[in-house]
Amino acid sequence: MSPSPENAVGRELILASNSPRRRELLESAGYHFRVIPPDPAAEDGLCSGEPPLHTAMRLARQKAENVAQKVSSGLILACDTIVVCCGQLLGKPEDRDHARQILRLLRGRRHQVITGLCLWDYPHGVPEVRSAVSALMMHDIADHAIEEYLATGLWKGKAGAFGYQDRLDWLVLLEGSVSNVVGLPMELLAEMLEQYRVLPDLG
């Protein structure tokens, strides 16, 4: 994406993510931004003993801090999405077998999608970190349905080994934001950006 115009506080919005889904959500909403992904090491750090909400928020801030080292200034937006089911914290699958294990755990069960969202007016402000939680139910799908989905490769790079945006008829949103399940809670983001007078371009 070409460099974006500065916003009302004299900062450009910087998306600290390599996720095409987050980029599409921002573009569809009409925001101007530039993409600077964090280093892969900044995306690691799942801790089994840490509350999931804290994990998502900590990782979001971790990504923002990493990208802050690459710019002189900017309104840095970073986020991290995790899935929690039966007390287990589920990140991105390591491979196809891992994805299969995750989907078999999720089927027939209610689970949560948690996103930590960090917005940092760097270098003058301090990181603001908030979170959004959505609840989903996955139907008790058959093994062949899981294998068909795995064959598409759409599970790659997605927390919980699935994408709500893949229009799977075996996923039901029970509570919360659809965009949060996709990876970027747009309602919460709009609220956070408002204090910086950053508004989408609806023209």
Handedness of CA 65, 69, 72, 78 (dihedral sign): negative
Per-residue burial over 18-33, b if 16 or more Cβ lie within 10 Å, else e, is ebebbbebbeeeebbb
202/67 Cα distance (integer angstroms): 28
70/18 Cα distance (integer angstroms): 15
User: Could you confirm whether 95 is annotated as catalytic?
Assistant: no
State the SS3 of 63-89: HHHHHHCCCCCEEEEEEEEEEEECCEE
70/92 Cα distance (integer angstroms): 25
List 39, 44, 80, 121, catalytic entry: 80
136 beta partners: 111, 173
Q: Which DSSP letter does residue 37 get?
A: P
- Residues annotated as part of the active site: 80
